[in-house]
Amino acid sequence: MALVECVPNFSEGRDKNIIKAITDEIKATENVTLLDVDPGEATNRTVVTLAGTPDGVIEASFNAIKKAKELIDMSKHHGAHPRMGAADVCPLVPISGITIEECVELAHKLAKRVGDELNIPVYLYEYAATSPNRKSLADVRKGEYEALEEKLKDPFWAPDYGPARFDPGAGATVIGVREFLIAYNIDLNTRDKKLAREIALNIREAGRAKRDKNGKIIRDESGKAIKVNGKLKCTRAVGWYIDEYSMAQVSINLTNYKITPIYRVFDVCCKEADKIGLRVTGSEVVGLIPRDALLEAGKYYLSKQGKTPGVPEKELIRIAIQTLGLSDVKPFIPEEKVIEYRVESRKSLLDMNTKDFIDEVSMDSPAPGGGSVSALSGALGAALLSMVCSLTVGKKGYEDVQEGVKEIGVKAQNLKNELMKLVDDDTEAFNEMMSAMKLPKKSEEDKRKRDEEIEKATQNAILVPLRVMQASKGIMECLMDAAEICNVNAISDIGVAALEAVTAASGAGLNVDINIQNVQDEKFKKETPIEREEIEKYIENKMKEIENIVKKRMKD
């Protein structure tokens, strides 16, 4: 599922009724979760965090901005934080299943709607900026609300969307796209914030002032201090003392964890602390963190141990939490701290125990049915393949194939996760088709809309099992690579994994066949069976090859 975070800031931090009215708009929007509401009295500003599907986030953000315009009068606003509008800034943040570029398109969509329907001047910033001078939020907001009326008269500062007209009540809104910012603190075994600051100066991208042998700051011809760059890009850091914990911390804002991953921040801080006689005792995530940031940390630390990172997600998260010491000052609960876990609300069939799932399949309801069972078969095949890889890594006599086996194990876990998701997707696809069938057909317009929804649902009911087949093909490709090099004591499991993949593909193929006859799109109807047949033939041929390898290695 594509998941987007949005962190709109509203110029009201004191009136609880206004804040509630704005956040109620978000709560009332489908496919969106309100994650946090943080009002500040001194700043007279509230930072709201929400996440959900792209369409849901855009709808919720628009409704919240609309409500803010109705209830907040900027001509009467005073606060410590820079601001220029009732809905001051609204950044979109890609979390998973969506790119920066796609979020930029969403930002334009939201900005256009705010400008056209609410008549609010809108500027785009960061990745969504339309010119270099608008990339920085500080540059766009320079002069704040008090300078906005004159600013709008300057063609250089014409808004990207909406009227170049001053609205005393609403001001202007800045909408943009940025990477996820991780607020991350490193715990130290000292109360001396000067030592924490020393580490911060060494790691942060901005670095520190260069000094001569006598400790005097070296300056350039204009008198500006010459800087020595820090060790980590996309990293802002300070050192401070936290009375609540009785310890000093290196407080970090990691502005792009994809460039500087969290595990690198932790390891570098450990080395820097050791240089000055300190120890890192753990770390702390303030707020939420994307799942990928922890998964990459788990993979990294498992690899350092010489183990395969091809293990279940839950284990990768556990390894990351334990190694980074994320529960040092307070318990780190993934369900509360990982943004995807906070947002995901769909009840999965795989949350059932095995007996209940089998019982559910045996009932008179047509879903879950053969499609979900096929996907489950594939997931079991991928799981067996991953197990065999884990039983090969680190074993004597298999030293030459370690890297290849680790790579296969990671692929197997990814395929397993995809097929587990497809267990639910297949049942949802069937339910969507049934819902489309029940749409009204009284008028010609009703019939047209109903036919469109049925066609859309039918194609999806084909694409889901086709994805099961594609994933099953991926399993067979991995099995071909693993069969010759894996631990011979687990070679029978390679054979069983292949049989599960064959079952998954064959069962999914039947689901493609039964639905394709109802498709109206001739191109889709012609091309899809061709791909289905190609996959099935490939899998049949590879099954024979794998079976021969398994039998041969069992005899050797």
pLDDT in tens, 411-426: 999 999 999 999 999 9
Per-residue pLDDT of 152-192, as tens digits, reads 999 999 999 999 999 999 999 999 999 999 999 999 999 99
- Average pLDDT on 274-278 reads 97
pLDDT at 83: 93
Q: Tell me if the domain spanning 349-555 has CATH number 1.20.120.680.
A: yes
Rounded to a whole number of angstroms, the distance between the first and last alpha carbons of the chain is 46
For the chain, give every domain's residue range. 3-177, 182-343, 349-555
Catalytic residue among 167, 425, 426, 493: 426
Helix, strand, or coil (residue 381): helix
Res 438 pLDDT > 80: yes
Annotate 329-350 with b (16+ C-beta within 10 A) or e (fewer). beebebeebbbbebbeeeeebb
Asked which of 7-16, 82-91, 427-436, 525-534 is least confident by mean pLDDT, the reply is 427-436
- Joined together, the tokens standing for residue 271 give 């080395």
Among the options 55, 73, 81, 267, which is catalytic? 81
Residue closest to 550 by CA, chosen among 482, 495, 512: 495
Give pLDDT, residue 533: 96
The pLDDT of residue 346: 58
Q: Is 81 a catalytic residue?
A: yes
pLDDT for res 504: 97
Q: Can you tell me the distance from the alpha carbon of 413 to that of 392, in angstroms, rounded to the nearest whole number?
A: 15
Q: What whole-number distance in Å separates Cα of residue 379 and Cα of residue 421? A: 9
- How much is the pLDDT for 345? 60
Question: Which pLDDT band, with edges at 50, 70 and 90, does 109 fall under?
Answer: very high
In angstroms, the CA 125 to CA 175 distance is 6
Q: Do 383 and 500 meet the contact criterion of CB atoms below 8 Å apart?
A: no
Please return the burial class of 133, using the count of CB atoms within 10 Å of its CB with bins 0-12, 13-18 and 19+: exposed
Q: 59-63, 65-69, 220-224, 406-410: which range is least confident on average?
A: 220-224
Q: Find the DSSP H helices in 204-312.
A: 262-275, 291-304
Please state, in angstroms and rounded to a whole number, the distance separating the CA atoms of residues 135 and 545: 56
Domain 3-177 has CATH 3.40.1800.10: no
Looking at the DSSP bridge assignments, the partners of residue 87 are 10
pLDDT at 314: 93
Report strand pairing: 87-96 vs 3-6: antiparallel
Q: Where is average pLDDT lowest: 58-62, 222-226, 234-238, 491-495?
A: 222-226
Task: For residues 532 and 512, give the distance between their C-alpha atoms in angstroms, rounded to a whole number.
Answer: 8
pLDDT tens digit sequence for 514-530: 999 999 999 999 999 99
CATH topology (fold) of 182-343: Alpha-Beta Plaits (3.30.70)
